[in-house]
Amino acid sequence: MTAEVISGTELARTIREEIRGQVSEFEAAHGSVPGLATVLVGEDPASQAYVGMKNRAAQEAGIHSRQITFPAETSEAELLGCVEGLNADPGIHGILVQLPLPEQVREEVVLEAVAPHKDVDGFHPVNVGRLQAGVPGVLPPCTPKGIVEILLRSGHDPEGKHAVIIGRSNIVGRPMASLLLQKGRGGNATVTVAHSRTRDLAEVARQGEILIVAIGRPHFVTASMVRPGAVVVDVGVNRVDDPNSERGYRLVGDVAFDEVREVAGAITPVPGGVGPMTIAMLLSNTLQAAKASLEGHG
C-alpha cells in the first residue's frame, strides 16, 4: 500500500479562493473589508518571512492588511500601547503579534493584552478556555483549525474515529484535542493525547485511525508506529543538514515520510502540508472576527 498524499497547498488555494469570494460579499453588504494587523518586533529573518507571507495572503484575499514593525529594543510598554490602539480601531478585526518576542518583552503579557474577539491566533486565555468548554464561534489556533479542514476536505471526517495526537503544546496538541472532541463539524472523535513521556508510545500511536504528529523531532514517527491504513498528519517543520541543498539544509517533518507512506492510507507532506493551511485559517479567523464584530459579539 502506498498512501494518498494530501496536498495542503492545493486545499489552501481552494480555501483562499473561497475566502476571497466571502470577503467580496462582506464588502458589498457592509461597505468595508475585514482588517488584519500584524505586529513584528525586531529583524528575525524567519519572522519577517512569515509576516510577509501572511500579509500577502491577506491582500490577495481582499483583506485590509496593516503591518506594524518595531525595532528589537522596543519596550514592553510601547508594544502594549500599540496593541491597545489596535484593540480600539474599528477597522482592525484581527491582531497577530508575531512570536518570538525579544527577551525584554513578556510574551504572555502581550498576548493577553489583545482583545479576545480580535485574537485571530487563538492564543488568548479567554479563547483557550472557550475552546476547551466547546463554546460556539470561538477563534481557535490556526494550525489545529487547518488540520480539521485537511481531514474533512480530503474525505477523512474524524467523527467516530480514534485520533491519536503526539504532542501536547498549547499551539497544536491541546487545542487539537479540543477541536476533535467538540460536537459538530470536524469533531466527535475519540481522542488520545500522547507525548514524549508516554509509556509504550509506539503502541499508543498504532491505535490511531488518525495520527497527528507535533512533537518537534525530525523523522520521529516511523512505520512501526503507524496503524496500517491510518491518516497521518505531520505538523513538524525541522531543519536538517543537507550538503546537496543550496541552503545547506532541507525541511523535514516529524514523520519519516518515505517509510510511513508505505503503511499509511493517507499522509500530509512537509513542506506543502499543514503549513499553507495555517495561513489560510488566519484569513478565515479574520473574516470570522469581522462578521462577529457586526453582530456585536466578542
CATH number, domain with residue 86: 3.40.50.10860
User: Among the residues of the chain, which ranges form H helices?
Assistant: 8-30, 45-60, 76-88, 107-113, 125-133, 142-153, 173-181, 201-205, 257-260, 274-294
Contact 216, 249 (CB under 8 A): no
| Amino acid at site 39 | V
- 294's CB contacts (< 8 A; 6+ apart) are 30
Is residue 98 part of the annotated active site? The answer reads yes
Q: Is residue 120 a part of any domain in this protein?
A: no
Residue 266 included in any domain: yes
Residues 152 and 271 in one domain: yes
> 22, 54, 145, 234: which one is catalytic?
54
Global confidence as pTM: 0.95
In a domain, 127, yes or no: no
Q: What does the alpha-carbon distance between residue 164 and residue 144 come to, in Å, rounded to a whole number?
A: 14
Distance of alpha carbon 37 from the chain centroid:
17
The tens digit of pLDDT for each residue in 146-158 reads 999 999 999 999 9
Whether the predicted pLDDT of 298 surpasses 50: no
pLDDT tens by residue, 274-284: 999 999 999 99
% the chain with pLDDT above 70: 99
Total domains, the chain: 2
Residue 162 and residue 192: Cα distance in Å, rounded? 8
Q: Are residues 227 and 111 in the same domain?
A: no
Residues 271, 187, single domain; the answer is yes
Instruction: Respond yes or no: is residue 67 known to be catalytic.
Output: no
Q: What is the domain range of residue 59?
A: 30-115
3-state secondary structure of 28: helix
Q: Which is the catalytic residue, given 22, 98, 182, 288?
A: 98
Tell me: pLDDT of 143 over 70.
yes
Give the CATH number of the domain where residue 190 resides: 3.40.50.720
Q: Determine phi and psi for 5, rounding to 5 degrees.
A: -95, 120
Q: Which long-range contacts (CB under 8 A, 24 or more apart) does 47-52 make?
A: 47/98, 47/99, 47/100, 50/98, 51/98
Q: Identify whether residues 99 and 156 lie together within a single domain.
A: no
The single residue of 121, 234, 254, 288 carrying the catalytic annotation is 121
Give residue-wise pLDDT tens across range 2-36: 999 999 999 999 999 999 999 999 999 999 999 99
Closest CA to 174 of 118, 137, 233, 131: 131
Residues whose CB falls within 8 Å of the CB of residue 198, separated by 6 or more in sequence, listed in order? 204
